[in-house]
Amino acid sequence: MPGKIYTFNLLTFNLLTLLLNNMCGIVGYLGKENAVPILIEGLKRLEYRGYDSAGIATIESDKINIKKEVGKISELENIIASNSSSGNVGIAHTRWATHGEPSHANAHPHTGSTGKIAIVHNGIIENYVSLKKHLISEGREFKTETDSEVIAHLVEKFFYDGSDNWSIAKLEEAVSNAIKVLEGTFGIAVLCKDVPDAIVGARKGSPLVLGIGNDEMFLASDINAFVTYTKQVIYLDDNELVVVKKDGYQTKTFERAVITKDVEEISWEADHIERGEYDHFMLKEICEQPSTIRDAFRGRILPKEATAKLGGLNLSNKDILNIDRILITACGTALHAGMVGKYIIEELARIPVEVDFASEFRYRNPIIRPNTLVLAISQSGETADTLAAVREAKNKGAAVMGICNVVGSTIARESDGGVYVHAGPEIGVASTKAFTSQVTVMILLAIYFGRVRDLSRRVASEIIDEFQLLPEIIEKFLEQKDEIKKIAEKYVETEHTFFLGRNDHFPVALEGALKLKEISYIDANGYPAAEMKHGPIALVDEKHLTVALANESDLIEKMIANIQEINARKGKIVAVTDSDNPIIKKLSDDIIKTPKVHQVLKPILTVIPLQLFAYYLAVARGCNVDQPRNLAKSVTVE
């Protein structure tokens, strides 16, 4: 087998199971066993990503047999049970609709006009309209609304070109020719009736990983799909394809030049991604935060020197002193972590910080000066908008640092340096522990930069001392989660909610609102508390809920004034606070009391009751908290 073999443990490898999460799931199998149960098991292990339909294609009795259905994988299993399928080679897919509504026709796998080629595809083909028009002009008949179907027709066109050369090499050539005319992102797996002993896969911007077994091979968008069968994997990079056979594989460039890839051996077990005693992955991941926060700062705090060590940044003290501006770019929850980081970096390191939506950054002409440092934050390290922002910043000459959870991800590889947050597997679509790990890294970075610049040893030591105690404080706080459950269940009929915070708690309010809307489908909005009187307060009435973040700080009296404004309009109020101020208790309908910690650490602690509040409220409303509607774990398309 070509290439070196590397072994990674759970922490240092940081669970490459999550590498390159995308909008849907691919599974392929080629071996000596019945492919169907293996493919179905693989699809089930990818359910956490979110999907609206599922399908499977196998080669049996000299034809491609396709079964697919809208809805859950269980619906697909019912169809297979009533019309048995077998075969030793097959591909399968869970689809999250981008082009065309969820329907039987639009579900993958897709075939060309003859039904002799089947493909599954993750990503978006941006030029599919022109390709489809051209293929129709050649007499090819389309059966779906999807962009993916053009791939099947293109491969079919190049394979069945009038010659009788139906070899693996010919299929490889046909796939190579097809993908060269595609614009956009894709991870694909291709099956051909007349080449029943091979699967061809290709990747550009959407993940694909090869699993190497004993006389059997696997191809998937996520190693979760086959981790119970093999621990030896190869990750395809962009612009690479792989020819998979029972007894081996060959990796090549899109131009079909042979390349050697390293084999990576995974040492963690499948039970690391099981729910265990928890009802949902989201609750499990909320409760894992004492450990993940500890893992995020483990080995990076230097108490004697009153500083932090982040060697992966590859920055000298001179480089840090020369930074005159930091630009943070991210999306969603990662953006909120960056916004918290802005407040803390400016406070401790005294460096001006801007935070920019990656989706906006990529489409304007950002000003990048020579001493600008760009921080790109992404859980998966594959977020399309953030990756595009990284590339734009690098094109303009900026030093770019990636802050990612997934080792070896594209953003991690393309950045000049960076920090892994070590949050481990995050299966729930609504991010929780990744956020607190990202904020942990933001605090470490602020301490590190601050100590090189103007931060005193005394202040840094105070933060570091309390930082090391924070996981235990959170463990103790989580013991009162049943009390938060009781409060959340009182508001099960709520349809409109404000989350209010000031200073570094404004982005925490945004994150609390995002969690609630993501999993409960309640209209929730976060605001800087003082902005209430500039318009939003018009919405407050006796049915409206406000979650007020009212921790002790120099601004607590102003926060109390905002609570009074809500109370005067008969709005319902849940206060999250570490204060014993009697006015907060008097004005609020419910209080969630949090422990007192250092001001810099409060955003981490304050977000946890918001996560629990959203979780329990969504469960009470009967929502699927791990797989909320219309959402996928990571967005690798625009």
Q: What is the mean pLDDT of each run of 10 residues along the chain (638 residues)?
A: 36 32 76 93 80 89 90 87 81 78 87 95 92 95 93 96 90 96 94 96 90 94 86 89 92 95 70 74 95 94 95 92 95 96 97 94 85 93 86 91 83 90 84 96 97 96 97 96 96 93 95 95 91 81 90 90 87 94 94 96 97 97 86 55
Helix (H) / strand (E) element for 573: namely strand 572-577
CA–CA separation, 431 vs 423, rounded Å? 11
Is residue 206 domain-resident?
yes
Is residue 349 domain-resident?
yes
User: 466 with 486, same domain?
Assistant: no
Q: Give the pLDDT score at 98.
A: 64
Q: Give the pLDDT score at 273.
A: 60
User: 493 with 617, same domain?
Assistant: yes
Is residue 234 domain-resident?
yes
User: 281 with 252, same domain?
Assistant: no
CATH number at residue 574: 3.40.50.10490
Is residue 403 domain-resident?
yes
633 assigned to active site: yes
User: 420 with 352, same domain?
Assistant: yes
Q: Which amino acid is at 124?
A: I
User: 184 with 292, same domain?
Assistant: no
User: 24 with 129, same domain?
Assistant: yes
CA–CA separation, 497 vs 540, rounded Å? 9
CB-count exposure of residue 546 (10 Å: 0-12, 13-18, 19+): buried
User: 471 with 560, same domain?
Assistant: no
**Which residues contact residue 315 at a Cβ distance below 8 angstroms, ignoring those fewer than 6 apart?**
399, 417
Structural domain ending residue among the three candidates 479, 496, 527: 479
Is residue 117 domain-resident?
yes
Cα angle 386-389-393, degrees, rounded to a multiple of 5? 145
CB 174 within 8 Å of CB 186: no
**Which residues contact residue 190 at a Cβ distance below 8 angstroms, ignoring those fewer than 6 apart?**
91, 117, 118, 119, 151, 155, 171, 175, 199, 200, 201, 202
Measuring CA to CA, which residue among 51, 73, 87 is closest to residue 221? Answer: 51
Q: Give the pLDDT score at 280.
A: 92
Q: Give the pLDDT score at 227.
A: 85
User: 233 with 206, same domain?
Assistant: yes
Is residue 638 domain-resident?
no
**pTM of this structure:** 0.77
User: 587 with 607, same domain?
Assistant: yes
Q: Name the active-site residue from 24, 192, 287, 331.
A: 24
Q: At what angle do helices 506-520 and 332-349 cross, to 10 degrees?
A: 170
Number of domains in the chain: 3
Structural domain ending residue among the three candidates 436, 452, 479: 479
Q: Give the pLDDT score at 633.
A: 55
Residue position matching structure tokens 């935060």: 289
Query: In three state form, how does the secondary structure of 177-237 look?
Result: HHHHCCCEEEEEEEEECCEEEEEEEEEEECCCEEEECCCCEEEECCHHHCCCCCCEEEECC
Is residue 535 domain-resident?
yes
Q: Give the pLDDT score at 4.
A: 38
Structural domain ending residue among the three candidates 215, 243, 273: 273
Residue position matching structure tokens 């349809």: 495
373 to each of 43, 247, 327, 330, 352, how far by Cα in Å? 41, 48, 6, 14, 11
Beta bridge partners of 497: 524, 545
CB 609 within 8 Å of CB 616: no
Q: Give the pLDDT score at 48.
A: 67
CA–CA separation, 341 vs 604, rounded Å? 11
Q: Name the active-site residue from 68, 116, 517, 633.
A: 633
User: 503 with 365, same domain?
Assistant: no
User: 581 with 496, same domain?
Assistant: yes
CATH number at residue 260: 3.60.20.10
504 to each of 347, 455, 528, 548, 562, how far by Cα in Å? 10, 19, 10, 14, 17
* Domain with 342 in it: 276-479
Beta bridge partners of 191: 118
User: 303 with 418, same domain?
Assistant: yes
